[in-house]
Chain A
């Protein structure tokens, strides 16, 4: 299953809402199923970071950009990979570590990739991709395209030195990049308030003369509008923007997080602003779809998720000779130390 979306001449039509709804629902149902296969079935191992609660960001960014615009993010990468066009089959197979996965079973949960869909992955070192993402933008500008790099990171990454070096470079060189800080309020178990006196992360842009904006990260419309402004500026050669998406993850930092650092009330407050519920209600209110049509979308998504499990289950493991492949551009025994 793959969702294709073209930016429409008219903003926020019926198709926009239905696209957002189906994409966000797909991401959520996929991750809920994957978590089940991790916890209940033991089919998935390693670190696993769910995006659940943050789906509006993937939705609003996708509708405001083009397929050619490269995306890069941290280890919480399932959603943006799916949004950019990875099939659920290839994503579930990657979580299983199967040869049919989107990184041939070599990446795992934190390292989804699709060169074909301009998704430059899933990166495991907090904040490292801020610089790599600016480099994707550097290449677009160098080649004279008007593509824009969307570079995602969390509130934890905002405290890395990389951010400051790269904000400076991106402004100095007017790189076509939109820095998207997905502020879900906790760097693992440490709240934003406990990591800096600067609590509004978007204001960090001011130090580099970069436009910065806070955005309601639970609302696809607000996200789309902010990204559209930033992308338009970047395409016109006016350089980078920092968008701070105020959002929330319903699940822990990773699958093994007991979440003792936050209250149930705080979590419930955000669940009342759930982006899927929000868009569902708007679709109903505007009569963009009947209950039957919405049920059909849900049934289609659930079937695709179930199919991805079947696909992953039935896929083969990577062959053992893959262990020394993809390390160098050309595989040759002389490149390795083998005793």
Chain B
């Protein structure tokens, strides 16, 4: 068996390897250097690369995002860590109005090779302001790419691809998966941006998910298997560009689709998938596409309400049975 490392270690290996490979790559963010990272992703990096390339910032998301964006336009390849994507809202103007648009506005002259990364979505009882999942917000923006990996192997290969990419990439992680262990080979590899991955093959129904909701989707598939329902589980891995072809291929086989995600429902990733699949695979669908998302409300603190707010295994199992018209 290949070695097992934690999600945060996989991210760190990607960062370390890319920073050793390219002098123009640097890491900037709150607590990334001397504190070794709020979630220890960047542990030991200051010691290896020094303060020129592993840079602590004051709490000024708009300001340091802007400095990083400007440096990317002038030849560097920054990786900016947000302590959570919730805080990145303060930097949205730089991401939307500068990073994503400069290539177009300059007629192709000035690009912005930058990675913004950090934990996204809910992580237990953190209350309303630390719990939003942002994939659909950034996926709406042409000029950006959005990645949301679910396991250490994908995280490492996709982060390396993101750092080498010449466009601005939003890289979304999760507090609750940083400790997850998974197989990661010693040798170098890159996972191309924009390719979904069939994590479990099956013939009865397609379940599409990404990021930490993949755990729910895969656990639900195991439960369903006990009842003789063979679910195929697709991990999107990249949200923009969206690999809808892989979903279509699966739906052609299973004729049923359920989507499990942590976005709020209005204009979510599942909204776009449902539109695309009804358009591209209408004749293959035997039932309406169903989805389970976050509850359409700010996340409350109380443990029972927090648990209700995001998808779980029992409700996903029930939804799949409903899609299959089974009791």
Contacts and interface: CB of A to CB of B under 8 A. Distances in A.
Interface residues of A, number: 52
B98 A128 contact: yes
Contact of A128 (B66, B74, B107): B66
A85 interface: no
A329 interface: yes
A222 interface: no
B104 A106 contact: yes
B93 A115 contact: no
Contacts of A166: 63, 66-67
B236 interface: no
A224 interface: no
Contacts of B241: 334-336
Contacts of A336: 142, 241
A165 B62 contact: yes
A120 interface: yes
A125 B69 CA distance: 15
Interface string A132-154: 11111111101100000000000
A113 to B, nearest CB: 4
* Range of interface residues on B (Cβ < 8 Å): 35 or more
Given A128-B93, A166-B66, A326 B71 contact: no
Interface string A71-114: 01000000000000000000000000000011111110001011
A246 interface: no
A104 B105 CA distance: 9
B311 interface: no
A139 B70 CA distance: 8
Interface string A117-134: 000110111001011111
A262 B185 CA distance: 69
B71 A135 contact: yes
A325 B145 CA distance: 16
Contacts of A102: 107
Given A103-B109, A111-B105, A162 B167 contact: no
Closest 3 CB pairs of A and B: A135-B70, A131-B66, A165-B63
17 contacts: A72-B70, A106-B106, A113-B105, A116-B109, A124-B97, A135-B72, A135-B74, A136-B71, A165-B63, A168-B60, A172-B58, A175-B67, A326-B103, A327-B143, A328-B103, A329-B167, A336-B241
